[in-house]
Structure 1
Amino acid sequence: MSRLQLKNVSKRWGSFVGVDNFDLDIADQEFLVLLGPSGCGKSTTMRMIAGLESVTEGEIWLGEKMVNKLDPKDRDISMVFQSYGLYPNLTVYENIRFPLRVRKVPKEQHREMVMKAIEMVELEEFMDRRPAELSGGQRQRVALGRAIVRKPTVFLMDEPLSNLDAKLRVSTRAQIKNLQSKLKVTTVYVTHDQIEAMTLAERVVVMNSGRIQQVGTPTDIYNDPANTFVASFIGSPAMNLVEGKLQDGLFKGPGIRVEGLPKHASGNVTLGFRAEDAEIVPSGGQIAAPMYSIELLGEASMITWRIGAGLVSVKTNKDYRAEIGDVVEARIPAEICHLFDTASGERIKT
């Protein structure tokens, strides 16, 4: 049983709060992603789980055991770092074998355990090479093999793909997802890349300034962001956010006017909508303004306007043609819109 619980966990250094009252129950075999910008507390949270940072307040439970006071080696947790952390003088085989030697696993078991790990990360033909002879993606697979060889109860992965190029990121991401489904081990994965989070996670924890902003499935977080921070952090492009006033179901902002919104809210609100949910129209749109830019994305084109102090984007078909400065209109149906309180940033329930 590898259920992981963090009960009101905080980490402080003097007056600085790195993690504030982190409370979460991570299910056995769940793939959970901690997502947020640099400095949001996600890596500190992971390091507290691993035992590399002490807990200022709260409790961390692994199964039926509180592990706050246990040394890292006694927590039965494997961690994969951004920097790989391989021994340059050891072969792939010996790097993956190393945790077994440290934990004094009987030598007669090593070969079978190491070879099974090597096969899982598809490194059979590289097992006699040293790290300097490997590509970045192969080194990351060695680090993964070393983490899985002793069958821990929890995997921790701290930005494992950030040193890889875009193509390798995609293939290694798929391999991590496939490995976790085969191993069925509780996994906590840290990243600032929302695409990684959306493609890998069963649940995502969005963090900012040491606090949890929202917890949910990738679909929940994408479709129903809890506040403007989550809305602006999730999605490529991020959700369009326009400040304005709402009265009797009519939203008015700079260069935008949307009718048919809920009438129970009023005053200063922020209107949000996704680029793919609106559409370019020849006339009668809720936006009609000079086009700021047009970008071909391959499968679509992205039209952008400057609305007030910010930019607003809408996706359209890849064959769309217009010149910068041309007046282009967009239809924004009320049913695709999200409303947020401008002062607090919190979502207004509709």
Structure 2
Amino acid sequence: MAQIRLKNISKRWNNFVGVDNFNLDIADREFLVLLGPSGCGKTTTMRMIAGLEDITEGEIWIGDRMVNKLEPKDRDISMVFQSYGLYPNMTVYENIRFPLKVRKVPQDQHHERVMKAAAMVELEPFLERRPAALSGGQRQRVALARAIVREPNAFLMDEPLSNLDAKLRVSTRAQIKNLHHTLKTTTIYVTHDQIEAMTLADRVVVMNKGLVQQVGTPMEIYDRPANTFVAGFIGSPAMNLVPGSVENGVFTAQGIRIEGLPSTTKGPVTLGFRAEDATLAQGQGQIEAPIYSVELLGEATMLSMRVAGELVSIKVAKDYRAEIGETAAIAIPAAACHLFDQSTGTRIGA
């Protein structure tokens, strides 16, 4: 049983608050992603769980044990880091085997467990090589195999794909997803990449400045962001956010007018909508503005327009052709719109 509970944990260095009053229950076998920009507290949170960072206050429970005072080696977890941390003088086989030797696992179990872990990440042809003879993706797989061979209660992964190129990130991400499905081990994964979070996670914790902004499934945080920070961080591209005001169910700002919004809201708001929810209008649209840029993405074309001082993105058909400076009319259904309090950034409505 590897349920992990974080109860009111905080980390402070003098007057600087790295993590502030973090509460979370991570279910057994769950794949949880800590997501946020650099400096938001996500790696500090993971390091506290691992025992690599002392907590200032609060409690960390792994299973039925409070582990605040336990050394990292006694917490029964395996970590995979951004830097692979391999021993350059050892072969791949010996690198994978090393945790078994340190933990004094009986010698007669070593070969079978190393080969099993190597097979899971497709490393069998490389077992006699040293790390210098491997690509970045292969080295990361050695680091994964070294974590797997431990058969721990939980995996902690700190930005494991950030040193890989785009193609390798996609294939290694799929491998991590498949490994979690196979091993069914509780996993906490730190990243600043929202695509990794959306594709890997059972649940995502969005953090900023040491505070939890929202916890939910990938679709919950994508479809119903709790505030403008989450809305502007999740999605590729992020949600369009336009300041304006609502009166009698009508949102207005320079170059944009949308009717049919909740009539209970009035005054200054920030309007949010996704690029894929907007379409080219037949006739007059809710937005009419000059095109700022046209980008072919392959499966679609991305239009950028400057609306009420903000650059907004619209996805249209891949065969759409237009010149920069031409006026485009865009339709945005009221049902696809989100409203946020302009002063606090908090979502308005359910």
Q: Shorter-chain TM-score: what band?
A: over 0.9
- Counterparts of 2:349 and 2:63, CA distance in 1: 36
**Residue in 1 that maps onto 2:301:** 301
How far 1:283 sits from its partner (Å)? 1.8
**Residue in 2 that maps onto 1:277:** 277
- The normalised TM-score by structure 1 is 0.99
- Counterparts of 1:293 and 1:340, CA distance in 2: 27
1:66-77 → structure 2 map (5 Å cutoff): 66-77=66-77
**Residue in 2 that maps onto 1:79:** 79
Aligned length: 350
How far 1:282 sits from its partner (Å)? 3.8
Contact between 1:282 and 1:328, CA under 8 Å: does it hold in 2?
A: no
Does residue 120 in structure 1 map to residue 147 in structure 2?
Answer: no
Letter in 1 for 2:247: Q
- Counterparts of 1:11 and 1:104, CA distance in 2: 34
Does residue 171 in structure 1 map to residue 171 in structure 2?
Answer: yes
Does residue 139 in structure 1 map to residue 139 in structure 2?
Answer: yes
1:6-85 → structure 2 map (5 Å cutoff): 6-85=6-85
- Counterparts of 1:183 and 1:332, CA distance in 2: 44
Letter in 2 for 1:114: V
1:168-188, Cα deviation, whole Å (9 max, x unpaired): 000000000000110010000
CA RMSD in angstroms comes to 0.6
Identity among equivalent positions (%) equals 73
Contact between 1:9 and 1:57, CA under 8 Å: does it hold in 2?
A: yes
Name which of structure 1's ranges 17-26 and 302-311 shifts more when overlaid on structure 2.
Answer: 302-311
1:132-211 → structure 2 map (5 Å cutoff): 132-211=132-211
Letter in 2 for 1:24: L
Structure 1 residues without counterparts, runs of 5 or longer: none
- Counterparts of 1:46 and 1:105, CA distance in 2: 26
**Residue in 2 that maps onto 1:219:** 219
1:238-275, Cα deviation, whole Å (9 max, x unpaired): 00000001111011112111111001111110000000
- Counterparts of 2:110 and 2:322, CA distance in 1: 64
- The normalised TM-score by structure 2 is 0.99
Contact between 1:41 and 1:210, CA under 8 Å: does it hold in 2?
A: yes
Where 2:32 maps in the other structure, the secondary structure is strand
How far 1:309 sits from its partner (Å)? 2.2
How far 1:284 sits from its partner (Å)? 1.3
How far 1:313 sits from its partner (Å)? 1.1
Letter in 1 for 2:196: E
**Residue in 2 that maps onto 1:312:** 312
How far 1:307 sits from its partner (Å)? 1.2
How far 1:77 sits from its partner (Å)? 0.6
**Residue in 1 that maps onto 2:244:** 244
1:30-69, Cα deviation, whole Å (9 max, x unpaired): 0000000000000000000000000101000001000000
1:173-213, Cα deviation, whole Å (9 max, x unpaired): 00000001100100000000000000000000000000100
